[in-house]
Amino acid sequence: MIDGKSGHKHILCVTQYYYPEPFRINDMTAEWVKRGHKVTVLTGIPNYPEGRFYKGYGLFKKRRETHDGVKIVRVPIVSRGHSALRLMMNYASFVISAGIFKTFTRLRPDSVFIFEVSPMTQALPAVKFAKRRKIPCTIYVQDLWPENLEAVAGIKNKRVLNAVSRMSDKIYRGCTTILTTSESFKKRLDERESTKDAAGNSKVKFWPQYAEEFYKPVGKAADGSSPAAVGPPEGFPGDDRFKLIFTGNIGYAQGLDILPGLYDELKSRGRECDFVIVGDGRYMDKLREEVSAKGADKCFFFAGRKPSGEIPAWLAGCDAAFVSFTDNELFNMTIPAKLQSYMACNMPILAAAGGETKEIIAEAGAGFASPVGDVKGLCDNMIKMMDMDPSELKRLGENSGRYAEEHFNKTKLMDEIEEII
């Protein structure tokens, strides 16, 4: 309960994904503990993005543990697998298991915090728990539903989408505060009556993501061209070609199918570069097939998934970082978490994206963005970067870092969310 002298609280965080899965909520909860709060996380058995349980975890293994001072309670779930049916079972199993935990738990938190990436269904037991305990409930919306189901899962059935929309309204009505990762998300949610309080005022606030402290520039040479203070990671491609890096989830929503096309376009103009892919996901096998079909294996380096703390070293060994989406209105409303990470590491940004992502890159003077799916435009921007003087490329990276410090400062943002909770 609340400490009358310090104002410290017990926060129950409900999130289907948590450590050792690589999500920013891991850092947020650890920061709350550092600030004196007690934090309990209700989550599932780690299996993202590979689709199978992480080594050492299972239905009867490591269901309770403490990490960074955070007490973790894991409810049994079905792993994601690699089919739509398994994914739906994964979503449903968390709701059922968390609902049972909600019924029998003896926890007495002061507030509930929901870290909402898909599926939104994970919020249902949290909202019910907060209502029963009569405590504040905050949801951090990173995926809009039903929009995400339609855009990513390809679900077009109006009855299904309407049912999901009603479920979303139920969740929003049950929350005290609704946080969003972009101004576009806030605008969309403000259109729903369910996001208003009893007086008709909006409960929605824009709260952008930040990059963890380990996302910072790793020592580079004076011209910004290569790592200096530390060497590149083991296995890093050792040639002198321009290197474009992508880090994170390799899913269908990321639009990485544009990269083999970019390879072709560069080749047609007599140019080559290295594409460094750090991560894993449901689209990885397909991407590898497309790269091999074009005979582009010599230019693509697939590093696999790496611990988040190693990503800055990989970024430092490359010349620019890549952001992309598939062509959908929803993604134009999104600010991907990797953008903050790239910018905090002083990386020049090359993007195949629109909306707020494009606006941030332009406002920061951090790089170049072309429309989603525009291979020729992306190639034009790529060659523009490749032909830059090293000092010009370094300037783009420095602009990135300054913008991140001003707009995505962790201390400032955590102060704000602490006030809200």
pTM of the model: 0.85
Q: Any residues with CB less than 8 A from the CB of 157 and at least 6 apart, and which? A: none
Q: Per-residue pLDDT for the chain (421 aa), expressed as one digit of tens each?
A: 444 345 789 999 999 999 999 899 999 999 999 999 999 999 999 999 889 999 999 999 999 999 999 999 999 999 999 888 999 999 999 999 999 987 778 899 999 999 999 899 999 999 999 999 999 999 999 999 998 888 777 788 899 999 999 999 999 999 999 999 999 999 999 999 999 999 999 999 999 999 999 999 986 544 444 443 344 566 677 778 999 999 998 988 899 999 999 999 999 999 999 999 999 988 999 999 999 999 999 999 999 989 888 999 999 999 999 999 888 888 888 899 999 999 999 999 999 999 999 999 999 999 999 999 999 999 999 999 999 999 999 999 999 999 999 999 999 999 999 998 8
Class of domain 10-207: alpha beta
For β-strands 70-74 and 64-67, DSSP reports them as antiparallel
Looking up tokens 């209700």, which residue turns up? 42
Token couple for 279 = 């991560």
CA–CA distance, 406 with 404 (Å, rounded to integer): 5
Burial, 15: exposed, middle or buried (Cβ in 10 Å; 0-12, 13-18, 19+)? buried
CA–CA distance, 125 with 96 (Å, rounded to integer): 8
CATH 3.40.50.2000 fits 243-407, yes or no: yes
Q: In the beta sheet, which residues pair with residue 71?
A: 40, 66
DSSP code, position 232: P
Report the pLDDT value the prediction gives residue 391, as an integer from 0 to 100: 95
Cα dihedral 150, 151, 153, 156, rounded to 10, equals 30
- What are the extents of the domains in the chain? 10-207, 243-407
Closest to 87 (Cα-Cα) out of 43, 118, 56:
118
Q: Is residue 208 helix, strand or coil?
A: coil
Backbone dihedral angles phi then psi of residue 363, each to the nearest 5 degrees: -60, -35
Report the pLDDT value the prediction gives residue 226, as an integer from 0 to 100: 44
